Amino acid sequence: MSATAINDAHCHFFSARFFAALAAQRAPSGSGTAADVCGELQWELPDTSEALADRWLAELDAHHVNRAALIASVPGDEESVAAAIARHPARFVGFFMLDPSAPDAPARATRAVAQLGLRGICLFPAMHQVPLDDERVRKVVEVAAANPGVAVFVHCGVLTVGVRRRLGLPSRFDLRLGDPRAVARLALAFPQVPFIIPHFGAGTLQDVLMAADVCPNLHVDTSSSNNWTRYTPGLTLQAVFGSALTVLGPGRLLFGTDSSCFPRGWLRGVYEDQKRIVDALGTSAADAARIFGGNFDALFTVPVKP
Ligand SMILES: [Zn+2]
């Protein structure tokens, strides 16, 4: 791998089904179609999942990004991301949001990883209001444990969903439930399963560092603007990277952007900011290459052609 190869561990695959789900949530008060929602947001309405996959591929190529995790961002949308990875298996890794309170959650997770080839189960405990020590969550993590190469992504800390806010959809999330210490409890119970906490824990940095210190299978993604740093007076993203490198080392940080919609596309500014920060910290080229690409490839190996 060259020192400049970039992999993005955190992009959202906003499929037609995703927008249809948002439109349905807004009915009957708002206008009721995916096209209406996209028109209001001034975003492109995706056509088929295959077409959206090609749109993403062209975007990655334009920015010299090698691979990206694409997250199905509403429960029940596994098929959309599955279509994308089937089309470009060497370039995309499929993640999917799962609501562990759904009665079929373990069966759905099994099908997604064993049949559809997805590799990241994404839990949003604050959104779905299921505590991480709940048996229903354990059942889902057991699916990852039974399928090597599958990671569990757990959103912690502050949770805001920009698109919901812009559409006026209520977001009554329970912020107490996105607790990195509860992730640590699971990660210790399932040491063979890689866990990923996005956005350095989105406001829970100290707990993320503690959790990662005791759980070698806990990884952190660097995605988004990380504007949660404003909750701590004087905290800079450079200081966050510095602490994370000290505690986790360079092998457990996964670069990500949190890119999602078109025409905005891939968030190059996030990459440029974080690259500048990593360089300013005096990180070696080899360690920077791990953060910006190598660690992702190690967790999510490129599938070999049959
Ligand atoms: Zn995200």
| 87: three-class secondary structure by DSSP | helix
Each residue's pLDDT tens digit in the chain (306 positions)?
444 699 999 999 999 999 999 998 887 665 678 998 999 899 999 999 999 999 999 999 999 999 999 999 999 999 999 999 999 999 999 999 999 999 999 999 999 999 999 999 999 999 999 999 999 999 999 999 999 999 999 999 999 888 888 888 888 899 999 999 999 999 999 999 999 999 999 999 999 999 999 999 999 999 999 999 999 999 999 999 999 999 999 999 999 999 999 999 999 999 999 999 999 999 999 999 999 999 999 999 998 876
Report CA(306)–ligand 1 centroid distance (Å).
32
Report CA(142)–ligand 1 centroid distance (Å).
24
Q: Which residues surround ligand 1, an ion (CB under 5 A)?
A: 258
Structure tokens at 92: 């995309």
Cis bond upstream, residue 28 (ω within 30): yes
Report CA(156)–ligand 1 centroid distance (Å).
11
Report CA(10)–ligand 1 centroid distance (Å).
6
Cα–Cα dist 101/108, whole Å: 12
Report CA(259)–ligand 1 centroid distance (Å).
7
Residues 290, 42 contacting (CB under 8 angstroms):
no
Report CA(14)–ligand 1 centroid distance (Å).
11
Closest to 60 (Cα-Cα) out of 199, 270, 268, 255: 268
Report CA(11)–ligand 1 centroid distance (Å).
7
pLDDT of residue 30: 57
Phi, psi at residue 37, to the nearest 5°?
Answer: -60, -45
Closest to 168 (Cα-Cα) out of 9, 66, 37: 37
pLDDT of residue 170: 83
pLDDT of residue 2: 45
Closest to 21 (Cα-Cα) out of 54, 2, 4, 46: 46
Which helix H or strand E contains 96, and what residues bound it?
strand 92-97
Report CA(75)–ligand 1 centroid distance (Å).
14
Cα–Cα dist 137/131, whole Å: 8
pLDDT of residue 29: 62
Report CA(59)–ligand 1 centroid distance (Å).
18
Report CA(235)–ligand 1 centroid distance (Å).
22
pLDDT of residue 1: 42
Cα–Cα dist 225/274, whole Å: 10
Closest to 250 (Cα-Cα) out of 223, 285, 210: 285
144: left (phi over 0), alpha (psi -120 to 50) or beta: alpha
Residues 13, 158 contacting (CB under 8 angstroms):
no
pLDDT of residue 28: 66
| 173: three-class secondary structure by DSSP | coil
Dihedral Cα 3, 283, 94, 156, nearest 10 deg: -170
pLDDT of residue 25: 86
